[in-house]
Amino acid sequence: MSQLPWILGTGAAAAAIGVYLWRRDRDAPATKPPATDAPATKPPATDAPATKPPSTGPLPGRWVWPVGVWRDRRPEISDGFDGRRRLPSGQVIPHGGVDVMYRRKPGDAWPAGTPNGTRGWVMPDHRAVLAASDGVVWSAANTARGGTVVIDHAPRKLATYYTHMSALLVAPKQAIRAGTPIGVIGADPLDGQHLMHLHFEVWRGGAADRFDPQRLMETSWEYLPDPGDVASRDARNGTQRQRDRSSYTVSVTSHQRRPPRR
C-alpha cells in the first residue's frame, strides 16, 4: 500500500505488519522497531511511555468521536492514555491509548462486573465503531486482541488504531469517510473481565508516535449519532480476513485489567 512506508518505514510489507501487530497486541510502549518479529515474551528494555508530542491545536481535517451518541448519551473516555496494565509476570506497562464507553446512569440494566459494565461505565451490545476521520483502511484483521483496524489519514501524517472489535465491517485499501462504521465493539479476548469497550489510539507519524488524544477529542471533535444495531451487518471483508489470517498471526502477551470497583 502506498501509505505503508511513512507508517512503519521500509522493508517487506509482511514483516512490517508482523512488527506492528506484535507491538499493538502487547499495548506496550513503542521505542525503536525491532529488527525481527521477536516473541512478545521478551519485553522491551524500558517501560517508558511512547513520546507524546505537544499539540498546538486541532488536527487538520474533520475529526469525530469513534463511538456514536447512544440514546442521548455521549461517549466518554473511561480509561486514559496514562492508565496501567499488569502482565502475568507482574510487570506493569502503560496503556498507551484511550478506552471509550458510556457513563453509567441510574436504571441501567447491566450489573457491574459483567461484560457490559463496571461501577461507573457501560457498553450496550452491538454498538458500532466509527472512523475518526477520512482515510484509507491500511489493515483490518482478527488478532489475539479482537478485531483490529488501522486507518491511514494521508496526506496528513496521522493514523488511527481501533481494537477489541467483535466483527469488522471494512477491508484493507478501502477508502472511508469520517463517521463510517468500521466494526462492532467487543471485548479483549485476553482480558479476564471481558469488558466491552473500544481501545483507540492516534499516531502522529507511526505507532511509536502515539499520543494522548483526550484533550483534542473533548474540545474539538464532533459527536455523531450512533448508527443503530450493527450485529446483523455482514462483515464485508470476512473472506479477506480468513485469507490474511496466517500472515497476521504473531505471539502476544496478555494483560490483566484491574478488577472493577463494585
For the chain, which residues make up each domain, given as ranges?
4-248
Is the confidence at residue 51, as pLDDT, over 60? no
pTM to 2 decimals? 0.71
Q: Give the whole-angstrom CA distance, residue 208 versus residue 201.
A: 11
Mean residue pLDDT of the chain comes to 74
The predicted structure's pLDDT at residue 86: 63
- Answer yes or no: CATH 2.40.100.10 is held by domain 4-248: no
Q: Which grid coordinates are listed for 56?
A: 498546538
For position 120, what pLDDT does the model report?
Answer: 95
- The residues that bridge with 139 in the sheet, in sequence order, are 150
Task: Give the pLDDT of residue 37.
Answer: 30
Length of the chain: 262
CA distance 257 to 192: 7
Higher pLDDT, 22 or 184: 184
Q: CB neighbours of 256 closer than 8 A, spacing ≥ 6?
A: 85, 86, 87, 88, 191, 192
Q: The cell 452491538 sits on which residue?
A: 126
- Whether 12 shows a pLDDT value over 60: the answer reads no
Mean pLDDT value of segment 140-148:
93
CA–CA separation, 88 vs 93, rounded Å?
11
- Residue with the larger pLDDT of the pair 206 and 238: 206
The Cα 14–Cα 19 span in angstroms is: 9
pLDDT tens digit string along 127-136?
999 999 999 9
Predicted local distance difference test score (pLDDT) of residue 162: 98
